[in-house]
Amino acid sequence: MSQNKTRKPTNAQWGGRFTSGPSEVMERINASIGFDQRFFAQDIAGSRAHAQMLVAQGILSSEDGQAIENGLDTILADIEAGTFKFKVELEDIHMNIESKLRELIGDAAGRLHTARSRNDQVATDFRLWVRDEIDSLGKQLVGLQAVLIDKAEAHADTVMPGFTHLQTAQPVTFGHHLLAYVEMFGRDRGRFSDTRTRLNESPLGAGALAGTSFPIDRTATASHLGFDRPMANSLDAVSDRDFALEFLSAAAICTTHISRFSEELVAWCSDGFRFISLSDAYTTGSSMMPQKRNPDAAELSRGKTGRVYGALIGLLTVMKGLPLAYSKDMQEDKEPVFDAADSLALALAAITGMVGDMQAEPENMHAAAGKGHSTATDLADWLVRAAGVPFRDAHAITGTIVALAEEKGVTLTELSLGDMQGVDKRISADVYNVLSVEASVASRTSLGGTAPINVRAAAAEARARFLVPEGIE
């Protein structure tokens, strides 16, 4: 009793059967307005679609419809101007907007919620929000591909070491290496756009879970909101969040690519490599060591990956045990998606900036490319081609020659013909033509190979495949 005195009044939207308001902790655990206010534009768009459909179906008078439209205009302008006061006691964005609408236009506001529930409303808002995010991330990915292709073209001839196991393997070109990422980010775009295709169905009109007895037109609201069609099953419409999980899965894979590239940027500007340098714009200094230039933006782009993976695992875990249809657990679906989308957008912006900013150091790359007997495969291939030696034997002969070079402390090109012939007398002076790193990369003309001529063609082809249809703004 005494507790009830300190309690708030019941909620105006759903408190009909309640005699007192929620406890302070109930209010806090229940409220989502702190984060779902990000849905304001989608929520208003959904309400407009719903109201117009209600009028068209004769469920709402056109005067009420007009009043709702005008009220929503005012609310949208207020929120955009930052003058709207969000209230925690009104729980979420849906009730904050509806309650304000009632203040503005009176009873007509209460008619807006005819044949609608917050369950189909929030599912609609969320799909619209993720759809917008996919479109904006898609544009960012195109921008990233564009700068990568530009750099790749500029460095079609720049030789660098290619690694396996992070051991020097065979020379490649820097352009070829960058184009590898263009392909990865292209598939990321594909995953996001597949997600978009599947999510683009409208939950609106599913009601709380079972549909409605009002003669609504779900096809009309779906097309008003740019959805391809209404979702077929009302229970599915309000209760699944697989679109958010797909979005997070695509985001997780994309951040994996960003993270691997970031790791390479970090390595490439370290003293052990010095393949690139980053300017003041993307590095920071140390408060103690005056000589330092740290690639923090690359490290943070790599570090953001943890948040995105966490979001995916978090939401999978929230969803895994829920019976149909809606449970309030599902209010926990939004923050991970917001955080993942923000983290990914920021990492993409940082990576795009760094690709444009980085200066390659071709001399250092070239010197590193020649180390570690990186053209040993070219020697073996030469034995196959010029002397008809089976590849397995050629591999063994080359191994002996590499051991000899190592013993003498020289590179393969520095080894004398006499020394090589001492290992196998079929070797002639022609062999030196294939032992330079330039000759090595130039010879890799197979489809998808690293030869500069291929890289130039691949860059042009990538430009046409990835950039032209979409256009870059």
Among 54, 59, 112, 330, binds ligand ARG (CB under 6 A): 330
Secondary structure element (H or E) that encloses residue 189, with its range: helix 174-199
Buried b (16+ CB within 10 A) or exposed e, 313-349: ebbeebbeeeeebbeeebbebbbbbbbbbebbbebbe
Catalytic one of 61, 62, 286, 428? 286
**Token pair listed for 26:** 């109930």
Residue 99 as a binder of ligand ARG (CB under 6 A): the answer is no
Interaction between residue 36 and ligand ARG (CB under 6 A): yes
Phi, psi dihedral angles at 448 (to 5 degrees): 80, 5
**DSSP secondary structure of 276-340:** EE--GGG-B--SS-TT--B-HHHHHHHHTHHHHHHHHHHHHHHHTTPPSS--GGGGGGHHHHHHH
- 297 to 326, contacts with ligand ARG by CB under 6 A? 326
Q: Are 426 and 387 in contact (CB under 8 A)?
A: yes
**Candidates 47-55, 114-122, 365-373, 461-469; binding stretch for ligand ARG (CB under 6 A):** 114-122
Closer to ligand ARG by Cβ: residue 119 or 375: 119
Could you tell me which of 327, 287, 453, 445 has the C-alpha nearest to residue 381? 445
Residue 118 sits in the site that holds ligand ARG (CB under 6 A): yes
What CA–CA distance (Å, rounded) separates 346 from 307? 12
User: Binding mask 79-98 vs ligand ARG (x if CB under 6 A, - otherwise)?
Assistant: -------------x------
Pick from 212, 331, 377, 454 the residue near ligand ARG by CB under 6 A: 331
User: Dihedrals φ, ψ of 171, to 5°?
Assistant: -65, 145
Residue 193: CB atoms within 10 Å: 13
Please tell me the count of residues contacting ligand ARG according to CB under 6 A: 10
- Catalytic status, residue 176: no
Q: Which of 32, 170, 301, 440 lies at the binding interface for ligand ARG (CB under 6 A)?
A: 32
| Minimum separation from the CB atom of position 101 to ligand ARG (A) | 17
**Which stretch, 117-125, 151-159, 223-231, 283-291, contacts ligand ARG (CB under 6 A)?**
117-125
* Interface of this chain with ligand ARG, residues 364 to 423, rule: CB under 6 A: none
259 catalytic residue (yes or no) = no
Q: For residue 235, give the nearest of 260, 253, 209 by alpha carbon.
A: 209
Please tell me which residue in 165, 213, 287, 446 is annotated as part of the active site. 165
Min. distance of Cβ 92 from ligand ARG in angstroms?
4
Does 42 bind ligand ARG (CB under 6 A)? Our answer is no
Which lies closer to ligand ARG via its Cβ, residue 99 or residue 374? Answer: 99
Structure tokens given for 470: 């979409």
Residue with CB nearest ligand ARG? 92
Which residues contact ligand ARG (rule: CB under 6 A)?
32, 36, 92, 118-119, 122, 326, 328, 330-331
